[in-house]
Amino acid sequence: MTRNDFRQLLEKRTVFIDGATGTELQKRGMPAGVCPEKWILDNPWAIQEIQKAYYEAGSDIVLAPTFTASPIKLAEYGLEDDMVEMNRGLIRLTRQVAPEGKFVAADISMTGKQLYPLGDLMFEDLVDCYKAQVEAILLEGVDLFVVETMMSLQECRAAVLAIKELCDLPIIVSLTYNPDGKTLYGTSPDTATIVLQSMGVDCVGMNCSTGPDAMLELVQQMAKVATVPIIVKPNAGLPELENGKTVYKMTPEEFTDASEKLYEAGASLFGGCCGSTPDHIRALVSRLKDKPVHEIIDRPLRVVTSERKNTWIDLDGPFMVIGERINPTGKKKFQETLKNGSLSMVVDFAREQEERGANILDVNMGMNGIDEKQMMIDSIYEVTSAVDLPLCLDTSHVDVMEAALRIYPGRALINSISAEEEKMIPMLKLAKKYGAMFITLPLSGAGLPKDIEEKKQHINTVLTNAVELGLKKEDAVVDVLVQTVGAEGTAGLQCFETIEYCKYELELPTVCGLSNISFGMPNRQFVNTTYLTIAVSKGLTMAIANPNQEMLMYCAAAADTLMNKAGALEKYSSLPVVETKAATASAGAGAQASGGGLSVANACDGVSPIAECVIKGKKDQIVSEIQKVLDEGMDPQVIIEEHLIKGINVVGELYDKKKYFLPQLIAGANAMELGMKHIEPLLASADGESKATIVIATVEGDIHDIGKNLVALMLKNYGYNVIDLGKDVPAETIIDKAVEVNADIIGLSALMTTTMMRMDDVVKLAKEKGCHAQIIIGGACINESFKDEINADGYSADAAEAVKLVQNLMTKFA
């Protein structure tokens, strides 16, 4: 199947994919804890019986059972050396039962390993892992690829790159979302859709984690930005416990009723996940097969994203600032820190500019004495972990730009692409491959344009080549190329003309490097600010500038207000009054008071440097800050209770309020862990009350441990004695260890509905063996009602909540 074939199929009618595989295999005897792929190959009748039933029920596409057949996953069972033959064998089994005119898809999913900097798996190693599996699959041949049940946008990107760098088959990507409507890493459905379709994915959507009812709002979010079809594969409702077994009670009719609403919201491909059966698919096909086809809208999307935030570039919207501070040019102290390998100022600049109102952050590592490519990569990792703002990647070197785009977990803005022949095409190809927007710089190899007409010529040269390579004109932002008015008196007038040409003739947004206009002149801030207000009135969209400059930010807001732009008056009115320090302080306090409580911007107000290191995840500074107060004679226990614990409490509160997501939570926990390790030797001989002992594990049959590891880390940071037994741990091992150490609490984690019942085994075995530890549970498939059904003592939805749960239990049973 070609990508055109796939698109044509979707233009003809609604398309159907298969239903659940794991729960159907369990019905046919697959036990918990085995490698599913190995069991399938040993029992081929089971998978072929299921797949025949799905094809007969009306599925157009059935997934070969290669879901966890990547090298990293198979290594969990010691089967990585058999990866090629296993994938080929699994594809063959599906091919054997596929009717004429039906399609076989390869199924790829997450590895269970965390990517750097949250974990130790490097991005390129993950791409190589997926490539190894894709190469094996291609040896046997499939019609398309489905990348599904993904929790990380960055893992999705790695899988997509692996497939696209090896073949041109259609790609479907499906993520799974938490009850708050975001992935584990804080990505919303619209962000994921924007990023993945920009990279050339043919269909985007969601599967697993919930029933069809809870998907409705998420599909509506996707439909507002989708330029490709939307796929939905919901569970057959939420799992329930019945006679000691996990069951899904949503009938095919109920499933179809709810899925019809997803069709109305914009979905075009339908299937089922956990608990769904051929009967569910048959009912779907019967109800939806004759529905009118959704029109696929090829809409221009002027938007850049991080992993957690979208920034729309509106031609008629409020003026925007691309923060310029992460650039070593002219900053001696910054240059020295970079030469010494420290990225502390990079992170500080990023946070500061986000707090000051920047919309996008420019990252430039161009200087002598460092490895620009490596420093760019390292800076992107640090900045994307610290702030939510999208990035503008700034380098003139093609290889550095590709390295940056490759690991950037969003849709970036390239700064910039000029009409220089040797770099223009390579840079535009990078924009296409990685789905980036780009700034068009009207320069050629001959240097600055002689006049406005030559400037327009350069702009159109870049745009023409971009469209020929498959990009859209709307992917571009035009740099109006500001020159200094001190050397060329008409510099400002030429820029104003360029702005009007781009906005009214090309209908493109514009950007400028603001400070260039006043270079070499006295009192530069007045020239810059006056230029800016005139430029905004002409239609300038944004500037690369320092958001710390109050005059600039206030005048831009005032200009927007006078032009009656949407939301401008409210924004200007919310700015602090600056006439006096007292007034500023009062206005700042008022803004904080009316801002709805704790925010990232004010989270560090009044806290110690140590607590701030925890809140902001400053791993490279926390030890030195602790040593300072130790040298001054502060008691180690006071440092823990009054500084480290206070800091991690703020992190937890920000996480609860959805101001922080998993990356910031882990960064704070890791910073605190470093602080605790520095203090621990000093506590060894101190008299202090030891906290509870907690045994924690991922249950038997489940090899996912991201959530469990974070819970263990957080509990350790709060001083608890945590014994982490790892993943895929039998109930007897858990209880024996809890009895041996006289544990106060047992913590259990499960990601999959197929393994959640092992938690019930642990609860029952604890009673049989007289283990008196309180048992708490958590994981993506777990909820409060399941806790009640198996008589566990507590449930937490995430790591921050787990700490509170343990604290409450220990207080209750003290």
**Binding-site sequence positions:** 208, 273-274
The residue among 23, 87, 74 whose CA lies nearest residue 703 is 74
Q: Between the CA of residue 368 and those of 160, 396, 650, what are the distances in Å? A: 35, 14, 39
Q: Between the CA of residue 73 and those of 22, 105, 112, 425, 738, what are the distances in Å? A: 16, 19, 8, 39, 29
Write down how long the chain is.
Answer: 814
Rg (CA), the chain: 28
Interatomic CA distance for residues 410 and 306, integer angstroms? 4
Q: Which helix (H) or strand (E) holds 94?
A: helix 83-97
List strands edge to edge, sheet with 794-795: 721-724, 693-698, 745-749, 774-778, 794-795
Interatomic CA distance for residues 782 and 747, integer angstroms? 13
Helix ranges (H only) for 469-608 are 491-500, 524-538, 550-562, 568-574, 581-593
Residue showing tokens 């599996």: 133
Residue showing tokens 């090629």: 84
The residue among 253, 168, 345, 214 whose CA lies nearest residue 206 is 214
Write out 375-401 in H/E/C secondary structure.
HHHHHHHHHHHHCCCCEEEECCCHHHH
Contacts of 297 (CB under 8 A, 6+ apart): 226, 227
Instruction: Please give the single-letter amino acid code of residue 605.
Output: D
Interatomic CA distance for residues 75 and 55, integer angstroms? 32
Q: 290: how many CB neighbours lie within 10 A of its CB?
A: 9
8 A C-beta contact, residue 376 and residue 365: yes
The residue among 567, 492, 569, 501 whose CA lies nearest residue 534 is 492
Coil vs helix vs strand at 774: strand
The interaxial angle of helices 83-97 and 44-57, nearest 10 deg, is 40
Supply the DSSP symbol for 686: S
Interatomic CA distance for residues 622 and 624, integer angstroms? 6
Q: Between the CA of residue 793 and those of 77, 99, 739, 743, 806, what are the distances in Å? A: 32, 50, 17, 14, 10
Interatomic CA distance for residues 702 and 722, integer angstroms? 20
DSSP string, 583-607: HHHHHHHHHHHTTTS--TTTTTTT-
Distance, first Cα to last Cα, the chain = 64
8 A C-beta contact, residue 222 and residue 266: yes
Contacts of 501 (CB under 8 A, 6+ apart): 452, 456
Q: Which residues are annotated as a binding site for Zn(2+)?
A: 208, 273-274
Beta strand residue intervals within 669-732, DSSP E: 693-698, 721-724
Torsion 131-135-137-143 (CA) sign: positive
Pairing of strands 103-108, 774-778: unpaired
